[in-house]
Structure 1
Amino acid sequence: MAFFRRTSLGPLTVAMSLALLLGFGLARGLHATDDMRSQLDLFSQVLYLVQNNYVEAPENDKLIKGAIDGMLKTLDPHTVYLPVERAQRMDEEFSGEYSGVGIQFDLRDGAIVVIAALEGGPSYRLGIQAGDRIVEIDGKPLSKTLTNDGVFKLLRGPAGTTVAVTIDRDGETEPLHFSIDRAKIPIESVPYAYMLRPGVGYIRITRFAQTTGDELEKALTDLRKQGMTSLMLDLRGNAGGLLSQAVEVLDELVPQNKRVVYTRGRIASANADYYTSEREKLANGPVVVLIDHGSASASEIVAGAIQDLDRGLVTGVNSFGKGLVQNQLRLGDGSKLL
């Protein structure tokens, strides 16, 4: 993303343009106080001075991206800016296919921590587990300044290409080395649905994507035809996804007109209550939900609602601990703010 280019705009023009953008547009949109305007003026002054006095000609897109990232780091670990390419990849993960190693991850203490290896993907087939810490890629230690976008550039690539990773795993005294063949990552979110024994159905949900509700409805319908009266819902290794689809899943399991999740925030638009509908429920018998350390975000919302409403039992081990809701705010150039 390039908001400003030195080839077409001089440093004074850049600073003045940014001041106009921030001072009159953003500040007004935020109902900025005089203090806010003075801070925006300060930022434009710093930009102007860097443009004119830094030892080398700086790249404007890197300056602005760094300023955005620095601002968001003062908030919490989960609020991030996604450039256009990263935003497109995120869309792909929940609506299309992509080529990569097939993991959900988080960056912690200079390492890539695996939240879950996506079922059916190359990392899953090699036995990479939730909690594994990727410390080297292609023989090179990870940079302490590595970002999410940098991880995707390192791990994604054309199907059939190979990437080597070194992993630290709890309980192992030596690092583990894996050579992962990148592949098209399957996006279906309900890969398995079958009868465990007479009357007991089993459904595996690997993520909460745009089609999860529809996939679950089809799976439940098929299992009911086979005599299902109770359900085991497997959310192990499910790193989450769309809140709307978590609500759709709960709508199949929880009685009518029950509040299954709500959000509260500083502004009125952040406050929402989600209730089940009045439609017939396809699963109205006993329910057991399986979770593990790789169950995060939307998975924890589903499991928490099942438990809080006494709709079923939750069993397994402690979940990942990211039971929160984030909005996706798309910006004018196609990038996103989470």
Structure 2
Amino acid sequence: MTGTTPGDDESWSSLAASKLGLAPSASRRKRRRLIALGVVFAVAAGIWALSWDYFAVAPIARAEHATQKEIDAAELPFVVSLTPEKNEPDFWNVVLDRKLSASEVRKMTSMADSTKVFSYLKSLGGRPLAYTSTMNKAPSVYHDRTAGDGAELAYVFKLNVLSGREKSVVIDDWKVVDVRCRRSTAKAVIRYPAQGGSAYEGVLLHIPPRSYEPVLTDEVDGQGKPYFSIRRIEVGGGQSSGGLRVESIAPVGKVCTWGISMHYVDVHQKDGWVRLTDKDGKPLVIRTEFPPARPQQDWLFGAVPWTACHKLRTSPTCMP
């Protein structure tokens, strides 16, 4: 076993005293006294540093944190953008506010491919509507409520919700506002009707809305139930934007405009309703329509050859 010899101790104290600025010839007592004072000063400096951190730095940090919370809370809880469905639906109607000319009819009826017909009609100013999601997994109460609806068509759009807040914001409800409906001016309707059906992720609602809407359209357990009774939209806090596919259905032969107010809650113990606005800060206005039952031109194709249903009103083939 090894230990420290008196010579080693003497060498260590001489070295420490030299570092503290004492001459090597100073007495052992002076060296030890200076070293003791150095230790005291070192401890005092450490205590001072800790005290500074607690009494000066910590309050500054707390104040900065409080200020950041105030800035975060003052920022808009979220903003939205609306994007119409761009892709061709599986099955669809296209409506126009004018009749097709004879040459347009000839060109249209010369096509058999639905995608080519869809693109051509959009180039003429046609407005697409999609057949609504099938609701095979919805509960019986939903089917009882919608038993008389028949085949329905929807204006489909994507509602994107974004937030720049550092803390998350939860949207837990919405309501439809400022509903105004008028008679449709559509004169031509081209139908590519559903053969079977598909379900899409998102929500569905009628305009004006029914009490239990919007409902979930995802083909999962919960389909057909009020969306906000089982789901939430969470944004902010570094999360990606929340997106919702919306199928909106107007009454037959009507064009309706409407808006949305969303209810939110946040970590700052704030909550409230926000009327959605567009990029210019004006109330967001959504337009939804349903073709008239007896348009001046009613063309049908797909499972059957091109058929002028406006000339065959009572034909079973032409029934919606």
Say whether the fold is shared (TM-score over 0.5): no
Which structure dedicates a bigger proportion of its chain to strand? Answer: 2
TM-score when normalising by structure 2: 0.20
TM-score with structure 1 setting the length: 0.20
Q: Which has the higher contact order (CA 8 A, sep 6+)?
A: 2
Larger Rg: 2
